[in-house]
Amino acid sequence: MAKDRHDNRDNHMNHKGKNPMKTKITIAIVTLALAAPAMAGNDDEIARRTQESRKVVKTFMGKLKGELQKAMKSGGPVKAIEVCRNKAPLIAGEMSQQTGWRVARTSLKYRNPNNAPDAWEQLVLKEFEARKAKGEDVRKLEHAEIVTVDGQKQFRYMKAIPTGKVCLTCHGEKLDPAVAQTLNQFYPHDKARGFRVGDIRGAFTITQPM
């Protein structure tokens, strides 16, 4: 009975004498034909924007590492906390201004609530964890995608940040009491502790308006 009704609908001719099912298929084929070159273009665009993002991440990372090393050497870890606190957002702001993109760092276990991931970033960070669990090299984890937000296209890029030995001073399992005390003072809701070498500490995140 149900099948009959289905067949009736498919074979029903509309008032212009066209089979609606056939029309639908034709539209689908035309749409596909139009979409194919556009999709190839998207791939090129993603590749180009990924290249640009990698460069900016490299510069950002270099500046952060430089500032951190300088501060650790000259003033020790407690003093270096202040540098991370002041310089990291400053450098991120400079990079954003220079590029016209949003350039930042984020993490599932963040220290500064300003660095909390949005919904998309959360998904990518979880995907990074899953890829790491499957044996991928953390240093090579990255994700690029064109997303649409409120009808507006954006290119988004993330690159994982591995935890190195030097990071453990402020993000490790056992912190020096003076370090812990200073961190408690600035970040009462700090989640960015308990990391081990090789863990994904977080990620660089870039949003390019299109």
The site for ligand HEC (CB under 6 A) is made up of 68, 77, 80-81, 84-85, 88-89, 105, 107, 110-112, 115, 161, 163-164, 166-167, 169-171, 192, 201-202
Closer to ligand HEC by Cβ: residue 146 or 187: 187
Closer to ligand HEC by Cβ: residue 156 or 201: 201
Phi-psi region at 147: left, alpha or beta (left = phi > 0; alpha = psi -120 to 50):
beta
Smallest gap from Cβ 155 to ligand HEC, in A, equals 21
Distance CA 138, CA 193 (A): 19
Smallest gap from Cβ 51 to ligand HEC, in A, equals 22
Smallest gap from Cβ 63 to ligand HEC, in A, equals 13
Helices (H), 100-176: 119-133, 168-171
Distance CA 2, CA 208 (A): 51
Closer to ligand HEC by Cβ: residue 41 or 62: 62
Q: Is 78 helix (H, G, I), strand (E, B) or coil?
A: helix
Closer to ligand HEC by Cβ: residue 20 or 89: 89
Q: Is 13 helix (H, G, I), strand (E, B) or coil?
A: coil
Closer to ligand HEC by Cβ: residue 52 or 176: 176
Smallest gap from Cβ 89 to ligand HEC, in A, equals 5
Three-state SS for 173-207 is: CCCCHHHHHHHHHHCCCCCCCCCCCCCEEEEEEEE
The tally of CA atoms less than 13 A away on the side-chain side of residue 139 is: 4
Smallest gap from Cβ 177 to ligand HEC, in A, equals 14
